[in-house]
Structure 1
């Protein structure tokens, strides 16, 4: 489990900033502030007033969202439980004798949940199936008993239907060489497929694989992983962010920042929605993390490094990495593979507790 601990514990460097340097009359008091907080804590904010000038009021903001107001220089008790994980850029606007002074500081809010760590002994490999060793797996999902797979690489990207028991591809649709295929998901009889850097996605008929539409990304981001719940498409972009999109418009309705109890978890890749949680590959890691979709807290991390050794072909460190998670609702089992792996594994966890 040493690899997982290194992943979860690697801390980010965060520094406290301070204030408007125009007059140096006011600044946010940082003597008792920490660099990292958890949602169960409270931050006591006040203003350093070096010349004892009269302060009428102070209005506090976090990431430009108003938190509240204190009269004179009363301590403002900021409860963190409702703030989103991540860097909190705190701004104070000090009203004094008809003038306003803006002061800033910053700290990081992490999860208060220590992820549970699961090893090889905590899951059972029920079956091992053949997998196309030429498939650079980017997305994997069951729909009506059929396994759909999206593959990547320019000039090699496809959307395909697969007989998971034999590994045979029953139908494959190539993407234009200009596109590097990424994650897929199937929602309301439509297949959605991302591309990596083109900032465009495709919508197909799930029965025929006929492409019906394209859509532009809602922002200047990359496309990595894709899944869905009963309301949203759920998308990753290689950062620690996960976006919840309206399936009809493909516009973002909300996002979460994914955190452990020490740091942001970045390079989130292939996604799968399983029993109300988001399972996510982490690029170049043999670990899958299980994420609370409401707040982004990493609740569990599973070490699947043993699966790599069960492939017949020799796998390289850089490209042929763990990637591909598909939940089969009919068997209630999870299927896992990797980029250019020659095997796919049907596994069942012996225990997953929250």
Structure 2
């Protein structure tokens, strides 16, 4: 009888402990969900619920292959936008509990709306599924996508007639394009490689993406590095002499929103401009840290040119200090004055 009582006590203790463990994890999960919209800023301390702190002997956070016991938002550990992490809670009884969480980190400075007015309109080939778009003088470089239809074009702004047109192999889906040091660099969508051409589109060589870059999306340059997006929240700076080498990476967020699906890129006067796939906006981004400093809302222009989920805003260039925008299969290129 005594053994039965002892066994019952032990079972009750184990059950109580398991229930407490579950309650702690639920508390942490519920708290994490409630904090996602509020987010954090670099330097903030994570506000872990008190009953979790009281139950834990130690707490650490793992993020991929990194781990920290600091409960503050350290830029060496976190990036702007969504951070998928795991809380590791060592209880006072010696067990280790784990709870997955998403921690949003936002920019401190408020992103300002940037006003504009349309200064001019130019024709654009409606057969061009625009992926890369760049202007040099009055000459447009355009990378046109889709399997079996991909090509790179060179034409004069205001004309639909190509000066130079080079079709891509049928298994290549063309993406972003940029001109740096008289070389044309071009991304591909899923082939995990890019191309380097001379100014007449003669192929110089191919290069392989770094493994962390899942797909090729947008491309520009700052005069020193190639700047590439892959449809995530990240923007990568690559060495143009060895485009398989990542120089550094930034992630993109405003003071209220984490962005992913960063797409077509353009660098101008110390800022990166990027459109977000399926959204009629262009973000002005600080290239030093990924903070969104301004937002252009092109909803009215996009409505006039978008009839389905494919023909979306996707083309940014600069004509002096005026911005040019277009989209996939749009009939027009718009020149806008930024206020």
TM-score range, shorter chain: 0.7 to 0.9
Q: 1:343 to 1:105 in 2, by over 3 A?
A: closer
Aligned: 1:84 with 2:76: no
Q: Mapping of 1:323-334 within 5 angstroms? A: 323-328=314-319, 331-334=320-323
Q: Mapping of 1:98-113 within 5 angstroms? A: 101=96, 103-104=98-99, 106-111=101-106, 112-113=108-109
Q: 1:286 to 1:93 in 2, by over 3 A?
A: closer
Contact 1:42-1:80 at 8 Å conserved across structures:
no
Contact 1:271-1:281 at 8 Å conserved across structures:
yes
> Counterparts of 1:284 and 1:61 in 2: how far apart (Å)?
34
Deviation of 1:326 after TM superposition, in Å, equals 0.7
> Counterparts of 1:105 and 1:182 in 2: how far apart (Å)?
35
Normalization by structure 2: what TM-score?
Answer: 0.78
Aligned: 1:35 with 2:21: no
**Which structure 1 segments of 5+ residues have no match?**
1-20, 69-75
Deviation of 1:166 after TM superposition, in Å, equals 2.8
Aligned residue number for residue 246 of structure 1: 239
The alignment covers a number of residue pairs equal to 309
Aligned: 1:132 with 2:125: yes
SS in structure 1 of the partner of residue 46 of structure 2: strand
Q: 1:193 to 1:81 in 2, by over 3 A?
A: closer
Q: 1:49 to 1:304 in 2, by over 3 A?
A: closer
Normalization by structure 1: what TM-score?
Answer: 0.75
Aligned residue number for residue 312 of structure 2: 321
Q: Mapping of 1:114-153 within 5 angstroms? A: 114-118=110-114, 122-143=115-136, 145-153=138-146
Deviation of 1:245 after TM superposition, in Å, equals 1.6
Aligned residue number for residue 282 of structure 1: 276
Contact 2:104-2:258 at 8 Å conserved across structures:
no
Aligned residue number for residue 338 of structure 1: 327
Contact 2:130-2:145 at 8 Å conserved across structures:
yes
Aligned residue number for residue 65 of structure 1: 66
Could you report, residue by residue, the CA deviation over 1:39-78 in whole angstroms, capped at 9, with x for unpaired residues?
152225686565x9xx5xx47344243445xxxxxxx652
Aligned residue number for residue 174 of structure 1: 167
Q: 1:292 to 1:154 in 2, by over 3 A?
A: same
> Counterparts of 1:105 and 1:317 in 2: how far apart (Å)?
37
Q: 1:346 to 1:103 in 2, by over 3 A?
A: same
Deviation of 1:100 after TM superposition, in Å, equals 8.4
> Counterparts of 1:211 and 1:59 in 2: how far apart (Å)?
54
> Counterparts of 2:266 and 2:159 in 1: how far apart (Å)?
23
Q: 1:123 to 1:49 in 2, by over 3 A?
A: closer
Could you report, residue by residue, the CA deviation over 1:229-265 in whole angstroms, capped at 9, with x for unpaired residues?
1332111112222222221222223322222334432
Aligned residue number for residue 215 of structure 1: 207
Contact 1:35-1:107 at 8 Å conserved across structures:
no
Asked which structure has the greater CA Rg, the reply is: 2
Contact 2:233-2:261 at 8 Å conserved across structures:
yes
> Counterparts of 1:79 and 1:321 in 2: how far apart (Å)?
36
> Counterparts of 1:32 and 1:193 in 2: how far apart (Å)?
44
Q: 1:176 to 1:195 in 2, by over 3 A?
A: same
> Counterparts of 2:31 and 2:232 in 1: how far apart (Å)?
31
Deviation of 1:95 after TM superposition, in Å, equals 10
Contact 1:110-1:260 at 8 Å conserved across structures:
no
Deviation of 1:316 after TM superposition, in Å, equals 2.2
Cα RMSD (Å) of the superposition? 3.3
Q: Mapping of 1:257-272 within 5 angstroms? A: 257-272=251-266
**Which structure 2 segments of 5+ residues have no match?**
1-17
Deviation of 1:117 after TM superposition, in Å, equals 2.9
> Counterparts of 2:46 and 2:232 in 1: how far apart (Å)?
27
> Counterparts of 1:179 and 1:88 in 2: how far apart (Å)?
33
Deviation of 1:318 after TM superposition, in Å, equals 2.1
Aligned: 1:159 with 2:152: yes
Q: 1:325 to 1:231 in 2, by over 3 A?
A: same
